[in-house]
Amino acid sequence: MSVDVIETSPASAVARLRATFASGRTRSARWRIEQLRGLERLLAEREDEIRTALAADLGRSSAEAFIGDIGATKAEVVHARKRLRRWMRPRRTGLPLTALPGRGWFQYEPLGVVLVIGPWNYPFYLTIGPMVGALAAGNCVVVKPSEHAPRSSAALAELLPRYLDPEAVAVLEGDAEVTQDLLAQGLDHAFFTGGTEIGREVMRAAAARLTPVTLELGGKSPVIVTAAADLEVAARRIAWLKLMNSGQTCIAPDYVLVERAVRDEFLDLLASTMRTFRAGDHESGMRVVNERQFTRLAGLLGTSGGEVVIGGGADRAATAIQPTVVADPDPDSALMGQEIFGPILPVLTVDSLDEAIAFVNARPKPLAAYLFSRRRGEHRAVLDRTSSGGVVINHLAFHCMSPQLPFGGVGDSGIGSYHGRWGFETFSHRKAVVSKPSRPDLSLLYPPYTDSKMRIIRRFF
């Protein structure tokens, strides 16, 4: 297949993909599996190029590039490929007495031409990941990478058409205007990963054409550390995810609520762990994606109140923020009012688990919630009394790293879910089917509806 496909506009790209979808070739299991194998080859053969792009855009280390983008994406692709034929099977159902004799089932059909709008923070995992579900479901896909990760965007534009069917996948680079132009085409689904405010804009534009959306957003994901926690493990695991990708992770811990009885010990362990994890790093701190994000984060540091336990420095020339822990900031400060999305971690003191739960519930529903405790009763309290996209107990992020589980937000943190089977279903239409024989053909169903007929009909309802 030729890969010399140059897109001149969103309209021409979508028209080309609609023609491909209309041909019917994307519907077969064979075609879908070929696309998934293509993604596997891309990740295996172009790992060095992906690492280089991530280092240029985000300052990522080789290890973080593999863990956060390459390995996680590969796991998603392999999981789908191995299970795809099973997912595609029609599902038999029962029928009510009124529909007998007959058979009922539902089957999955692809939606058509779908849009994946990728973010800058994990530009390969969070762009290719949704594509896995879209291709597994038999769709044609338009990809709009983030312009804020230009090297990664260019790599996706070059590599995806080389490893996938170039008549079924289009990559359009550009800014928000390109996204709006794509949404104006009346696509069959739009999948967006990014911030809540931009998510609202995407949803408004999609609504004008009745395009259904999946929104993977963010929010302030809390960590609750009770007196029953293993504090050393909690500090290590919280520091690990908070510092991954300079804190620019949608499910990173945004703030910690720690019980007063263990507050000082936990803070000491957290600061010590952060120093160990970042030993040898440049003194200026951890690089963030651009100057705009740097300015925002530096501003949060300057207005939070509270005690800086570790870090607090910022280097504008390097667009770098030191890993920072702020103890007991003002709950009404900007630091506690917006998603941080950087290497700054507020730690607030609470007197009980009930107080922590009330604090979480007084704020918009987060994408993730985390609890560190060895008491099952406390596990159940958080699960039953809080609402979030997902929960991890005694660790972080593993709900996102498990393709056997649905991943998505609730309320302000998102609409819909994906990963594994849930990605396949997000990009599929579940078509209900009833098949009945021509005979018998009961006259009871047809007019005129006499009193005697209606007495019989009423018995069925």
Tokens of 404: 């056997």
| Residue 66 Ramachandran class (φ > 0 left, ψ -120 to 50 alpha, else beta) | alpha
Residues 6+ away with beta carbon under 8 Å from 86? none
E strands present in 217-254:
222-225
User: Phi and psi for 143 in degrees, rounded to 5?
Assistant: -110, 130
Residue 48 is classified by DSSP as H
201 among known catalytic residues: no
Active-site option among 64, 76, 167, 216: 216
167, 250, 378, 425: the catalytic one is 250
Contacts of 67 (CB under 8 A, 6+ apart): 244
Residues near 402 by Cβ (< 8 Å), separated by ≥ 6? 419
407 strand-pairing partners: 418
Q: How many CB atoms lie within 10 A of CB 287?
A: 20
CA distance 88 to 84: 6
Amino acid at 162: R
Q: CA–CA distance from 218 to each of 124, 166, 181, 197 (Å)?
A: 18, 32, 25, 10
CA distances to 41, 43, 173, 304 from 1, in Å: 16, 20, 22, 56
**CA 413 to chain CA mean position, Å:** 10
Cα distances (Å, whole numbers) of residue 304 to 69, 195, 318, 325, 342 = 32, 22, 23, 11, 14
- How many Å apart are CA 67 and CA 286, to the nearest integer? 18
DSSP 8-state secondary structure symbol assigned to residue 250: T
CA angle, corner 203, sides to 197 and 206, nearest 5?
145
Cα 137 vs. chain centroid, distance in angstroms? 18
Map residue 29 onto helix, strand or coil.
Answer: helix
Please say if 167 is a catalytic residue. no
314-315 β-sheet, strand order? 286-287, 320-321, 314-315
User: What number of helices (H) and strands (E) belong to the chain?
Assistant: 16, 21
Phi, psi of 258 (to 5 degrees): -120, 140
Q: Which helix (H) or strand (E) holds 123?
A: none
Q: Which residues contact 264 (CB under 8 A, 6 or more apart)?
A: none
Q: Which residues are part of the catalytic machinery? A: 216, 250
